[in-house]
């Protein structure tokens, strides 16, 4: 998304830009939601109605508009860049350096969440932001049913979501594609937490371990290899499950035979995810280099749970560049049709 040097922003675009930059900097979600709610509140209103309310000082009479968001709207209506936006833009440089050339080659992102599961925004907003970032595609990968803490989608809910995705793509008319996906839990026995019939309707499937992360190495290895060998699996998500920083605290990486797991990935054509969330940095550098040496494909993903987090790919591209990974082995440098052909090749 461009900065304030762009042509004058209207109030909705200004509110969205502020929310985007706050999300990008991982600010508190409740404060961010105030700006997104305000944008949704005024979006259906006529421009002249918003301007009249701004001039009369009655914006706060609208549900979802508070004093701070009203001030932003008023400034935008007057053609003034709000001070809050000016301050945010000043700190909106690259999130990580060293991977700029690779970042420019990325065509999309294979791991994102919406408010259908544990994300913070509607899938339409996620798609719009991805398009504004220059992506050709975004894979929507909300959680699977057994991850109840993340409001995982049953087959019935996922079916409904696919209809919404179809409607979004019809509206976008080929300028950008929201791809149908899932972050499907790898269960204790290595099976996937969704029906084969449902998985077969999706474009891309990210398989991740979210439970029993302290399982002993041998059963964890069997579990992960079982998922990798499943023909529906395209990407092995955040493989160690570790947390190195952030408000959730830290968590040690899961123990497994990485050589065996990554060999299976290389044999099956399953991409190892380079998760760009700064609290994950997964896989760790030694495992990333091992996967490289074993011939694995990779996917650099944001794992975004809010629109602004879609821009966290800088972290992943910096790590991939440092590890010397050939860009053509990174599946989201590929054009959409090549990506889809790869994702369907084992079915």
pLDDT tens digits for range 53-105: 999 999 999 999 999 999 999 999 999 999 999 999 999 999 999 999 999 99
pLDDT tens digits for range 97-145: 999 999 999 999 999 999 999 999 999 999 999 999 999 999 999 999 9
Q: Over 60: is that where the pLDDT of 234 sits?
A: yes
- pLDDT of 135: 98
Q: Over 80: is that where the pLDDT of 3 sits?
A: no
The closest alpha carbon to 318, from 150, 101, 169, belongs to 101
Per CATH, the architecture of 11-90 is what? Orthogonal Bundle (1.10)
pLDDT band at 236 (very low <50, low <70, confident <90, very high): very high
pLDDT tens digits for range 6-26: 435 799 999 999 999 999 999
Q: What is the mean pLDDT of the segment spanning 160-166? A: 98
pLDDT band at 248 (very low <50, low <70, confident <90, very high): confident
CATH of 100-344, one of 3.20.20.140, 1.10.1060.10, 3.30.70.141, 3.40.350.10: 3.20.20.140
- pLDDT of 9: 77
Q: What is the mean pLDDT of the segment spanning 291-311? A: 98
Q: Where are the domains of the chain?
A: 11-90, 100-344
The answer to whether domain 11-90 and domain 100-344 are alike in fold is no
- pLDDT of 8: 52
Q: Give the C-alpha separation, 110 to 91, whole Å.
A: 27
């Amino acid at each position: 998304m461009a900065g304030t040097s762009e042509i004058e922003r209207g109030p909705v675009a200004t509110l969205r830009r502020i929310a985007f930059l706050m999300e990008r900097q991982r600010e508190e979600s409740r404060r961010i939601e105030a700006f997104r709610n305000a944008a949704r509140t005024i979006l259906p209103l006529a421009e002249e109605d918003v301007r009249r309310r701004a001039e009369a000082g009655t914006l706060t009479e609208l549900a979802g508009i508070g004093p701070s968001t009203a001030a932003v709207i008023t400034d935008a209506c007057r053609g003034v860049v709000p001070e809050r936006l000016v301050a945010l833009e000043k700190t909106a440089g690259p999130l990580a350096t060293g991977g700029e050339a690779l970042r420019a080659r990325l065509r999309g992102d294979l791991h994102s969440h919406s408010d259908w599961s544990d994300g913070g925004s509607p899938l339409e907003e996620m798609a719009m932001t991805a398009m504004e970032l220059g992506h050709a595609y975004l894979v929507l990968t909300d959680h699977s049913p057994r991850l109840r803490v993340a409001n995982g989608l049953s087959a019935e809910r996922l079916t409904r979501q696919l209809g919404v995705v179809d409607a979004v793509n019809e509206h976008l008319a080929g300028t950008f594609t929201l791809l149908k996906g899932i972050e499907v839990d790898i269960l204790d026995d290595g099976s996937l937490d969704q029906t084969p019939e449902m998985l077969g309707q999706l474009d891309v499937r990210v398989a991740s371990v979210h439970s029993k992360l302290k399982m002993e190495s041998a059963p964890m290895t069997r579990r992960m290899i079982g998922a990798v060998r499943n023909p529906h699996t395209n990407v092995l998500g955040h493989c160690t499950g570790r947390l190195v920083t952030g408000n959730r605290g830290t968590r040690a990486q899961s123990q497994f035979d990485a050589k065996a797991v990554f060999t299976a990935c290389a044999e099956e054509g399953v991409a190892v995810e380079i998760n760009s969330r700064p609290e994950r940095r997964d896989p760790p550098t030694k495992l990333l280099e091992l996967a490289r040496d074993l011939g694995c494909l990779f996917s650099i993903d944001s794992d975004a749970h809010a629109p602004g987090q879609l821009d966290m790919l800088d972290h992943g591209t910096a790590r991939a560049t440092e590890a010397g990974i050939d860009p053509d082995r990174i599946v989201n440098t590929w054009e959409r049709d090549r990506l889809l052909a790869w994702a369907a090749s084992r079915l």
